Amino acid sequence: MAQFIFSSCNLFGLNASLETLCRQSPTTAYRLLQTSCIISFFFSITIVLLWWYSDTILIHLFH
């Protein structure tokens, strides 16, 4: 449950910051949506990989 809340908060914050960032560019709405989705996808994959291998990463860090 806590992981779901944490991931939802991360993605909500990321999307809010991307909306602010993308609104400053002089492009069309479709381009803004496309850029925001691509950036969100890559950050989400990074977070998933960190969570998936978190036990291995922590073992190697503190061993």
Check residues 4 and 48 and name the one with the higher pLDDT: 48
Distance between CA atoms of residues 18 and 40, nearest Å: 8
Q: What integer pLDDT is reported at residue 37 of this predicted model?
A: 78
The separation between CA 1 and the C-alpha centre of its own chain, rounded to angstroms, equals 18
Domain containing 45 equals 2-56
Count of domains forming the chain: 1
* Residue 31 forms part of a structural domain: yes
Residue 35, burial from CB neighbour count under 10 angstroms (0-12, 13-18, 19+): middle
pLDDT tens, residue by residue, 23-63: 776 766 667 777 777 887 888 888 888 888 888 988 998 87
* Residue 7 forms part of a structural domain: yes
Distance between CA atoms of residues 56 and 49, nearest Å: 11
